[in-house]
Structure 1
Amino acid sequence: MITVPLTPDLIRGAIELEETATGLLPHRLPGWARAQVADAQLTMAESQPAGVRLVLRTAATVLELDTIPTKRAYAGAPPRPDGCYDLVVDGEPLGRGTVTGGRTLAIDLATGSFELLAGEPGTLRFDDLPARVKDVEIWLPHDETTELVALRADAPVAPVPSGERPVWLHHGSSISQGSNAATPTGTWPAVAARLAGVDLVNLGFGGSALLDPFVARTLRDTPADLVSVKVGINLVNTDLMRLRAFTAAVHGFLDTIREGHPTTPLLVVSPTYCPIHEDTPGPAAVDTTAMAQGRLGFRATGDPAEVAAGKLTLRVVRAELARIVAQRSAIDPHLRYLDGQELYGAGDHDELPLPDDLHPDAATHLRIGERFAGLAL
C-alpha cells in the first residue's frame, strides 16, 4: 500500500482544512468566521463535513482511510448509528462503510450541556474496486465531525481537475445539512447535485441558518456558479427575531452575497412544510412525551396570538421572503424565489410524515432532492 499525502486538491466541498496534531479537520466555515462563533451548536455543525468528499483519480483496487470520528450521544435517546461513508466510482455508488471508535460528544438537550470524550482513530477500507483508471469519491459522514488522518492505496493517486462542472453553493438549516438522511450522498442537496451534474458546496448548518453576517460573507467570498439560501425554520424554532428585524436581516444577507456574486443566479428558498411551526411560533423544545416513548421529537412552545406583534411562523416567513424577492428582483434579474412547499408540502407530509416532527426522513430527502434538481438546478 502507498501512503498518499492528504493534500487540499484531493478534498472538495470544504471551505477550509485545519491542520491538527494528527491530520486534517475539514471545516465549512473559515477560521475568521469561526472566531466570531460563540455557539456550541454551530461550532459542532460546521465541523460536520456535509458534502465534503475526497475526489481522486486512480487505478487502485484498494483504498484505506484512517479517520477520527466524533460520535454524538444524546442523553435519554437511543444510540445513534455510526456515521456513514459513501464510495462513488465514475459517478456511480459502489460501496458504503463506517469507522468505529473515535471521540464521543455527550449531549444533554434538556440542559444544553456538552462533554467531549477522547478516542482513537479507526480505518475505513474499500477493496475490489474496478481495476482501471477511474474517478473515485469518498463522501464523509454528513453529521459526524471527521478528522482525516491517513490515506493509503495500492496504486498511485492523482487529483481530479476542478472546474469541469458548475459549482452550486448552498446555505440552509439541518434539513440542508442532512438531518435524518441515511447517507452523505442521500442528503437532499447531494441528491440534487448528482442529478444536475454540479459540484456541491453545502453550507447547511444544523440549527444555525440564522442570517449570521459571517455566513453571508463566507457565501460572498466562495466561488460559485449558482448560490441558494434556504432560510426560515431556524429563525422560527429558535425564536431569534421578530418580523421587523427579519426583514432587515434578509436584505442585509442578500446585499452581502451580491457584493461577491453581483450577477450569479441567486435563489431564495423558503421553509418546507412543518406542521408544528406553520402557525405556532417558537421556540421549539424537545418533546418529553416522545422521549419517554424512546424517540426524539420536537414541539412548538410559542403563542400564536403573538404573531400579530411580530412573532415569526413559517407562514409569516414565506410571505415576507416572497415579498422581499419580488421587490428586489425588479432591479436584480438574476434573483429568484422558490416556495419550500413545492419541495415538501402538506400532501407530502400526509404520505411521508416528519419522524421527529421537524426533520425529513431518508425517502423525503430523496424526494426533495429530485424536485430541487428539476425546479432550480
Structure 2
Amino acid sequence: MNASARPDPDSSPAAGPWTTTPVTARLLRGALEVEPTAHGVLPHRLPARARAQCTDGQLARAEAQPSGVRLAFRTRATAVELDALRTTMAYEGAPPRPDGVYDLVVDGRLAGQGSVDGGHVLWVDLSTGAEERRPGPVGTVRFPRLPEGVKDIEIWLPHNEITELVALRTDAPVEEAPVPERRVWLHHGSSISHGSNATSPTAIWPALAAARGGVELVNLGFGGGALLDGFTARALRDTPADLISVKIGINLVNTDLMRLRAFTPAVHSFLDTIREGHPTTPLLVVSPLLCPIHEDTPGPSAPDLSEIGEGRLSFRATGDPAERAAGKLTLTVVRDELARLVERRAADDARLYYLDGRELYGEADAAELPLPDRLHPDTATHRRVGERFAALAFGADGPFGGPGG
C-alpha cells in the first residue's frame, strides 16, 4: 500500500523519509464512488448511473463536492501532507469566497485545519448565468507536528469545493483504519444538509449530529438537489445503511419545481424506492426548517444582487401567495402534507417516522439566529440544528435511539 519517496526539504518538518500512499476507495469514507482522473481520484456522492441521468450542472457540482467525505487511516506519522486539485466557484462583481477547509481529526478530536491554494475556478455571472472555467495548479495542505504514537486520522474534505485527491504523504507508513463498529447513518437533504454557509466540514449539522450520535455519516445532501429525483432514491436504496433520514421540501419550493398534485405521489414513490432496499431500516422523514421568506410564499427564489459587491448575497421569494390555491407549494403546505402522508404510511410501516423541521430551527431561533442570506444557516445555526437533531433522533426515545434504532 505504501511507496517510499525522497524527503522534501521544502515541506513541513518530518521525523523520517516521506511515504507516499495512493489514495484509493479503501482510504475514503462517505463517498459512494471514486472516479480515476488524470490527476488522481475524484470522490462522488452519486454513482455514475445516477450522474448519467441528469444534465443539471448545479447537481453535478454539488454531488462532486465531498460533503461528509473523509480520508481515514492509521499511522505513527507526525506530519501529513495531501496534494489536491480543487475547483471553486467565483462570482463576477463579488469578492473572492473563503478557501475551503480541510479538518484534521485525530482519534476523534479536531486537531488541525488547513486549505489548499491553486486549483480551477468556475466564474459565474449571476445576472446572465454565463460560466467560464479557468484552470489552475494542484495545491497542498500540510499538517505538521502531530502527536507521537499510533493514531487514527481522518481528513475531512472541504464540503464546498470539488476536490480531486492527488497524493497522500506521511513521515511514517499508513494502513487502513479499522472498520468502525458504529452504525451507518445515510442522510439526504438540500444545501442545508450539504453544509451551506458552515465554515468547515465537521461544522455542518449532519457531521455534528453524527459525532454526537456515535454513527458513521454518509451525507447525500446536495445544494439545490433535494428534488425527489428517482436516481437519488435508487442511490439511497442501494447504499448500505443502518439508519436513514430524508429531509424534503425547501428545494421543491425554492425551485418551484412541482405542484401539490405531483408532490404527494413523488414522495410516496421516493419512499417506496428506499424501502425496496431497506424494508425495515428506521427511516425518518424531516420537513423543512423554518425559512420565513417561503413559509407562505411560493417560489422560485431569486438572488438579490444589490450588495454583492460588498460580499453579501441574499435571496427573496418571487411567488404569489394567492397561487397556493392552484397547488403551488410553500413550506407550510409541504409540512402539512408530509405529516399527513407519513402518518398514513406509518400504519403499515412501524419504522417510518416524521420530524417537523421547526423543532430543529423555528421562530424563536430565527429571531435569535436569523438566516444571513434569508435561505441558509451559518455555523452557529448548524451547531444548533445538529445538537437538536442528535437529541431528537439519537436520544433514547428517538427513532434512531438505542441499539435497535
Q: TM-score, normalised by structure 2?
A: 0.92
Tell me the distance in 2 between the aligned counterparts of 1:234 and 1:132.
46
Letter in 2 for 1:20: T
Aligned pairs (5 A) from 1:1-377 = 1-291=18-308, 294-377=311-394
How far does the alpha carbon of each residue in 1:194-225 deviate from its partner, in whole angstroms, 9 at most, with x for none?
A: 11111000000001100000000000000000
User: Is the 1:64–1:125 contact (alpha carbons within 8 Å) kept by the matching residues of 2?
Assistant: yes
How far does the alpha carbon of each residue in 1:47-99 deviate from its partner, in whole angstroms, 9 at most, with x for none?
A: 00000000010110011100001111012322101100000000011000000
SS of structure 2 residue aligned to 1:57:
strand
How far does the alpha carbon of each residue in 1:167-205 deviate from its partner, in whole angstroms, 9 at most, with x for none?
A: 000000000000100100000000000111110000000
Tell me the distance in 1 between the aligned counterparts of 2:188 and 2:353.
15
How far does the alpha carbon of each residue in 1:2-35 deviate from its partner, in whole angstroms, 9 at most, with x for none?
A: 0112121110000100000110000000001100
User: Is the 1:102–1:119 contact (alpha carbons within 8 Å) kept by the matching residues of 2?
Assistant: yes
Letter in 1 for 2:210: A
How far does the alpha carbon of each residue in 1:82-121 deviate from its partner, in whole angstroms, 9 at most, with x for none?
A: 1000000000110000001000011122222222211110
Tell me the distance in 1 between the aligned counterparts of 2:306 and 2:368.
23
Tell me the distance in 2 between the aligned counterparts of 1:8 and 1:38.
25
User: Is the 2:95–2:309 contact (alpha carbons within 8 Å) kept by the matching residues of 1?
Assistant: no
User: Is the 2:24–2:41 contact (alpha carbons within 8 Å) kept by the matching residues of 1?
Assistant: no
> Could you tell which deviates more after superposition, 75-84 or 15-24?
75-84
How far does the alpha carbon of each residue in 1:307-334 deviate from its partner, in whole angstroms, 9 at most, with x for none?
A: 0110000000000000010000000000
Tell me the distance in 2 between the aligned counterparts of 1:6 and 1:288.
40
Tell me the distance in 2 between the aligned counterparts of 1:78 and 1:248.
43
Tell me the distance in 2 between the aligned counterparts of 1:26 and 1:110.
31
Tell me the distance in 2 between the aligned counterparts of 1:312 and 1:152.
50
User: Is the 2:83–2:165 contact (alpha carbons within 8 Å) kept by the matching residues of 1?
Assistant: yes
Letter in 1 for 2:128: T
User: Highest CA radius of gyration, 1 or 2?
Assistant: 2
Computed over aligned residues only, the root mean square deviation of the Cα atoms, in angstroms, reads 0.9
User: Is the 1:171–1:204 contact (alpha carbons within 8 Å) kept by the matching residues of 2?
Assistant: yes
Tell me the distance in 2 between the aligned counterparts of 1:196 and 1:113.
42
SS of structure 1 residue aligned to 2:152:
strand
How far does the alpha carbon of each residue in 1:226-279 deviate from its partner, in whole angstroms, 9 at most, with x for none?
A: 000001000000000000100000000000000000000000000000010001
Tell me the distance in 1 between the aligned counterparts of 2:156 and 2:19.
21
> Could you tell which deviates more after superposition, 67-76 or 366-375?
67-76
Shift of 1:38: 1.0
**Unpaired runs of at least 5, structure 1:** none
Shift of 1:291: 3.1
Tell me the distance in 1 between the aligned counterparts of 2:378 and 2:204.
10
Tell me the distance in 2 between the aligned counterparts of 1:109 and 1:176.
23
User: Is the 1:77–1:296 contact (alpha carbons within 8 Å) kept by the matching residues of 2?
Assistant: no
Shift of 1:294: 4.1
How far does the alpha carbon of each residue in 1:135-155 deviate from its partner, in whole angstroms, 9 at most, with x for none?
A: 000000001000000001111
Shift of 1:292: 6.0
Number of residue pairs matched by the alignment: 377
SS of structure 2 residue aligned to 1:228:
strand
